[in-house]
Amino acid sequence: MRLKDKAAIITGGGGDIAKATAEKFLKNGASVLLFDYDEELLGKTMKELTQYIKNVKTVVGDTRKLDDMNKAVEMCVKEFGKVDILVTCAGIAKHMPIDEMPEEVWQKVIDINLTGTFIACKAVVPIMKMNKYGRIVNISSLGGRTGRPYVGVNYAASKSGVIGLTMCLAYELGPSGITVNAVAPGPLDGRMTKTFPPEKVEMLKVGLRIERLGSPDDIASAVLYLASDEASWVTGEVLDVNGGLYI
């Protein structure tokens, strides 16, 4: 029970990584509040977590809006008494060449992936400071570490920004007992890749030293470590989980 009696907020709660992370957290003794703008996806995630129903709550909202994130924090405190952990999984991808990318597509990805991460962190920090304890784990991407096929500049910039935000926050919040780290996943076998043609899936595997796509569970295991007290002296780090693509 590596997270016994901990309370966590996970944004992007309807997504693959969030669901896998929530399940690992719950199995390890945590209570979890899932936050997402998509009520239908949240409902699907909840159906897969029914055995933990007493320890899972959901809030529908927009991670770009501080009022919505504050409501999630308030709900977590009301239901579970505190907020120990934040995992920022909310994110979108709109990949296309720069000369074909409308400004609004650039901005939407930046707003959700980067500004949304900032807003989520901003919402939880006051209560974590008050309790002199916190674990923040931001989901970045291999696309924020190096150039990759099928990665748009908007996505790369947003995920690189998440890394910069993570490092700066780690420096700022360490004296308050709060660690801040990031996980940078490589290509995953998830909901999105299941819509890809076989040739595109094979292209994603090029360069992998462990010759398979990752799974959401691979990422959740890394998040669990960083959220636990086993990582109490780890902060400002980016944990690359990508089968050896980025060495």
Tokens, residue 227: 């959220």
CB-based contacts of 182, cutoff 8 Å, min separation 6: 137, 138, 139, 140, 162, 163, 166, 237, 238, 239
HEC string for 193-213? HHHCCHHHHHHHHCCCCCCCC
Provide the annotated active-site residues: 155
The DSSP result for 18-42, as a single string, is HHHHHHHHHHTT-EEEEEES-HHHH
Q: State which amino acid sits at residue 177.
A: G
CA dist 37 and 175 (Å) reads 33
Extended beta strands in the chain, E state? 7-11, 31-36, 56-60, 85-88, 134-139, 178-185, 238-241
The 8-class DSSP code of residue 51 comes to G
The answer to whether 46 and 71 have CB atoms below 8 angstroms apart is: no
CA dist 197 and 188 (Å) reads 15
